[in-house]
Structure 1
């Protein structure tokens, strides 16, 4: 393997790692903003520990980070496709895309409980 190919693969891996970190960070920020917004809304909660009492807050808490992870996963898979068409190192991007989509499904499964009626 030549130096140029290793350099391209290293740069691809670095950009995939940055893409993953930014996507997960944005999902966490979205989750925290929804929690702060729901807690600051001033409505009384029937559950003392629940900061997501409003119906809208509960819905957004489940959907906003899920949407961020979905966009990140799909964009990584699109990047993998473009790299594949250009005969570049696409495997890293495919791994990132499927990893983000798996994380999205796990988050939606765990946070889906807030969508259930009390």
Structure 2
């Protein structure tokens, strides 16, 4: 029995790029939202965790496709778990901003 080899030797690079772009987009939207006016702030603060969730779902879909083709899907699943945890952190960090703007 042979050990599984990656079909693409650049899998790790692709995972790191996907995670980095998703994190930068999520944090960028959150920071821009915090500096914007109130109406735009609500939209951007809500959009930041949504972007991270879409990135996590995209990684899970990619993990499934790699698994079906017999590749090394574990790395993709690990990246998706990281983004899911980051989504929870973003969600709980953006919630107080939304509640503050509604009480004023």
Q: Same fold (TM over 0.5)?
A: yes
Q: Which has the larger radius of gyration?
A: 1
CA contact under 8 A between 2:12 and 2:75: conserved in structure 1? yes
Residue 17 of structure 2 corresponds to residue 34 of structure 1: no
How many aligned positions are there? 99
Give 4+ residue runs of structure 1 displaced > 3 Å after superposition.
Answer: none
Scaled by the length of structure 1, the TM-score of the pair is 0.72
Shift of 1:19: 0.4
Question: For residue 60 of structure 2, what is the aligned residue in structure 1?
Answer: 77
Shift of 1:62: 2.9
Shift of 1:29: 1.9
What is the SS of the residue equivalent to 1:87?
coil
Unaligned residue ranges in structure 2 (runs of 5+): none
Mapping 1:53-68, distance limit 5 Å: 54=38, 56-68=39-51
Unaligned residue ranges in structure 1 (runs of 5+): 39-53
CA contact under 8 A between 1:70 and 1:100: conserved in structure 2? yes
Residue 26 of structure 2 corresponds to residue 13 of structure 1: no
Shift of 1:31: 1.8
Shift of 1:107: 1.0
Scaled by the length of structure 2, the TM-score of the pair is 0.81
Shift of 1:59: 2.2
Q: CA RMSD in A?
A: 2.1
Structure number with higher relative contact order (C-alpha < 8 Å, ≥ 6 residues apart): 2
CA contact under 8 A between 1:80 and 1:90: conserved in structure 2? yes
